[in-house]
Chain A
Amino acid sequence: METRNDIVSANDQHDGHHAPGEHDGDGHVGHVHGHIAPRRPTRDQLQHIQGWGADLDRKNRPGVPMERTPPRFINVPDGDPAPQEQHVEVLVSTERPGRTPLFGSVQPPSGLSGAIRRLAFKSTENDVRHWLLLLLADRVNVVEGIGDDLAKGKVPNILAEMGIKSELKHNPAGLAKKVALGAAVIGVACYLMQRRGRRYR
């Protein structure tokens, strides 16, 4: 790629002028200068850019001002939504007065991971333990997921779930490397365990 990583100043790029300071590869400036404003390209120089300047005028930008009221483009409802009926356990942040009118109801907390999540929701979002417990629950939940699969008579095909078919198709060399590395790690671990076993025999 011709433009990539060629150290080109804005002046060089657009006007053919020299860079204001000579510098070596480590970025040390050869001489002191007070130039702080790179020259900008003219409109003519930018005309080849597709759509250039279509939103130059801020009034064309939908997010200017950042907070705009009343809202445009939506059918503004009358008042807050009616409360959704609750049929499953929903954990609620302690940083709000109660449940929101609308909420997600999928995968309610269950099992050990659910217990950890309930514990996490006793602390505020401001407390880092809240998030760390949720991450712990996620990892426990993965083991529970495998257990659930087995309980339903389904042996999870973990390699397929990880997309091994596409790895084999698009990155066979990388897959071979990973297999070799994995085999080496397992081999070394087995060897060390064997040695340790012999020592204590």
Chain B
Amino acid sequence: MLAMNYRGPYRVRADHKPDPVIEHPGDAIVRVTRACICGSDLHLYHGLVPDTRVGHTFGHEFIGVVEEVGSSVQNLKVGDKVLVPFNIFCGSCTLCQHELYGNCHNTNAQSTAVGAIYGYSHTAGGYDGGQAEYVRVPMADVGPMVIPDDIHDDDAVLLTDALPTGYQAAEMGDIEEGDTVVVFGAGPVGIFAAKSAWLMGAGRVIVVDEVEYRLEFVKRYAQCEVVNFKEVKDMALHIKKMTDWVGADVCIDAVGCEAAGNTMQTITGVYTMMQAGSATVLHWCINSVRKGGNVSIVGVYGPTFNAVPIGNALNKGLTLRMNQASVRRHLPRLIEHIRAGRIDPKQIITHRVPLEEVSDAYHIFSSKLDNCIKTILVPPRANEVRAVKASVQH
């Protein structure tokens, strides 16, 4: 099959590799019809995530058609069109029993610090991802969801990560009516966090970024105020000024380890990797939020350590909440929002690229060329109608 193939930092290509096979009675093989490049894929692409092996196929945002199922799969059948949440989870461990699917303890042998994620290095379990023609989907009875007929495929693929992550970011901010919410990052997750903040009753939503076209987009799409941090001398001071010197009620980090805006952080966090990524946005969040406020972190950081002003967080009495999104628990509500027209996720898609051109797709997204916000990769067999294979007995 054709699949994205990681060759090293800033180097990926489309290559042929063996088709995935059923390895467990609970597995399914899904023929991918759409896969996105996520902002967090860029951390892998830039070589910042430990144990990213050459030959790995990225991609944790994908939808497709079930091609094979293992012997114990009961809830999916061959031919079902499914969206697959980025978390690989068992559904039965203590954490899954509490709907913390992003923290499942039964699917990642290689790290206890991270749940299992499709195509996100061996630190996240060592599963190939969906930027390919086919992908192995473990625990197929639990993770995937059959896409309702009235949900557009482009909306469905954004329900696998970007939208639920943005929504959970707002939810973890514990927004109350009239709150001022500052979202750092105008990428797809930040855009959806801004949109979700309004759903939860925010009184003001301010999005901060440095990329002009993204600020223009989010201002229009999420009806929010925007700040270009390149034009601001001090971010925390600026937010204080914008909020009557109090600070925001809620700050959301939708950027993570490659945040720009502070040269020293970039040098120590990105170029020399002396910390697990640039902590610029963590500083901005902690220092911009009001005393007693909430900081919600969904931007991804590496597994080692970051220099953050934890003393300020303590002295200000902040609540810090963070997690990988627990995608499955958000889906019913988010589908209601899409049906009600409160949110139209597919509007953020700017690029649709054949999988064969994955090298260019990554470069365009990484370098923010051509006003790119969200890229969908389309495998060559995406639209193929094939004779379905018989269920495979393990």
Residues of chain A touching chain B, judged by Cβ–Cβ distance below 8 Å, are 1, 3-5, 7-11, 13-14, 19-21, 23, 25-27, 29, 35-38, 40-41, 46, 48-56, 60-64, 66-82, 84-85, 87, 90-93, 95-96, 99-107, 113, 117, 121, 125, 128, 131-132, 134-135, 137-139, 141-142, 144-146, 148, 156-158, 160-167, 170-171
Contacts and interface: CB of A to CB of B under 8 A. Distances in A.
Given A4-B231, A40-B203, A166 B54 contact: no
Given A27-B237, A99-B109, 11 more contacts: A13-B204, A27-B241, A46-B203, A61-B333, A63-B168, A71-B91, A100-B106, A104-B110, A106-B127, A125-B113, A138-B52
B55 interface: yes
A73 B360 CA distance: 38
A135 B50 contact: yes
Nearest to A76: B91
Given A46-B203, A81-B24, A81-B26, A104 B91 contact: no
Contact of B99 (A13, A71, A146, A163): A71
B72 to A, nearest CB: 8
Contacts of B54: 107, 141-142, 144-145, 148
B280 interface: no
Contacts of B362: 163
B369 A166 contact: yes
Contact of B201 (A26, A29, A56, A157): A56
B329 A7 contact: no
Contacts of A66: 321
Contact of B359 (A85, A145, A161): A161
B303 interface: yes
B106 A3 contact: no
A77 B97 CA distance: 10
Contacts of A9: 241-244
A75 B7 contact: no
Contact of A41 (B92, B93, B204, B243): B204
Contacts of B203: 10, 14, 40-41, 46
Interface in B31-88: 47, 50-57, 72, 74-75, 88
A61 B171 contact: yes
Nearest to A145: B54
B92 A73 contact: no
A131 B303 contact: yes
A81 B92 contact: yes
A166 B360 contact: yes
Q: Which among A7, A35, A66, A68 has the greatest number of chain B C-beta atoms within 10 A?
A: A66
B245 interface: yes
23 contacts: A4-B215, A4-B227, A9-B243, A13-B204, A35-B245, A36-B246, A37-B244, A41-B204, A50-B223, A51-B343, A55-B200, A63-B329, A67-B99, A77-B139, A80-B93, A81-B24, A84-B24, A93-B110, A93-B111, A102-B106, A161-B7, A167-B363, A170-B364
B110 A90 contact: yes
A163 B360 contact: yes
B19 interface: no
Contact of B51 (A23, A138, A156): A138
A69 B99 contact: yes
Ranked nearest first, the 6 interchain pairs of A and B with the lowest CB-CB distance are A163-B363, A104-B126, A51-B342, A40-B178, A142-B8, A145-B54
Interface of B: 7-13, 23-26, 47, 50-57, 72, 74-75, 88, 90-93, 96-100, 105-113, 116, 122-123, 125-128, 138-139, 141-142, 168, 171-172, 177-180, 195-196, 198-201, 203-204, 215-216, 219, 223, 225-228, 231-234, 237-238, 240-246, 273, 302-305, 321, 326, 328-333, 337, 340-343, 359-364, 366-367, 369-370
A81 B139 contact: yes
Contact of A23 (B106, B216, B241): B241
B201 A55 contact: yes
Contacts of A156: 7, 11, 13
Contacts, number: 326
A79 B180 CA distance: 44
Contacts of B304: 128, 131-132
B237 A62 contact: no
A158 B11 contact: yes
Nearest to A137: B51
A145 B54 CA distance: 6
A73 B108 contact: no
B369 A170 contact: yes
B154 to A, nearest CB: 19
Contacts of A121: 110
Contacts of A21: 245
Contacts of B223: 48-50
